[in-house]
Amino acid sequence: MNDRDEAGAGRAAPRKRADARRNERTLLDAAAAVFVTSGVEAPVRDIAARAGVGVATIYRHFPTRADLIIAVYRHQVEACAEAAPALLASGATPHAALGRWINLFVDFLVTKHGLAAVLRSDDAGFDTLHAYFLDRLVPACAHLLEAATAAGEIRSDVDAYELMRGVGNLCIGADNDPRYDARRLVALLIAGLRLP
């Protein structure tokens, strides 16, 4: 093999890894969307159809449903954490960015509620994921709150953890009552943060 062949081989491997990461993100995005609308017990074939892959592809990446749910959980935590600065940079106002971020957080919470049932037998695993959730999302929410406070848009006494707990509590009823609109109530909560 000559130097050019070796260099070419070296370039192909990172591209393949990038493709594999992109494919996994596509699977996780599809699974998250299906979980939001149908719950974490949704058929794998529905996730495969949404992702445009075969069921075997999902099982190759995620051998068990718990593996898939945990991966979706981590993926959504990262997406939510990474969205905060992007929304702040592109939003009309910091308060608007906060509202959009909270909508992402609500979608995440729908998936998270199902995760608890899946992991009941693994308290240590659930505790680890919950700590990861707090470590990544509380600072993201705090950043948005600080920006909205600095802009004079919201009250200055709002704590990120308390706000996130409040949003979480408002989302609990959405599982069992089709008339209950958690997103509407969360929007009222976010609107209530505004200064007169």
pLDDT in tens, 74-118: 888 999 999 999 999 998 999 999 999 999 998 788 666 666 566
CA–CA separation, 187 and 192 (whole Å)? 8
Q: For tokens 């718990």, what's the residue?
A: 66
CA–CA separation, 116 and 189 (whole Å)? 25
194: which DSSP letter?
B
pTM of the model: 0.77
CA–CA separation, 149 and 164 (whole Å)? 17
pLDDT in tens, 1-29: 444 444 444 454 455 577 777 888 899 99
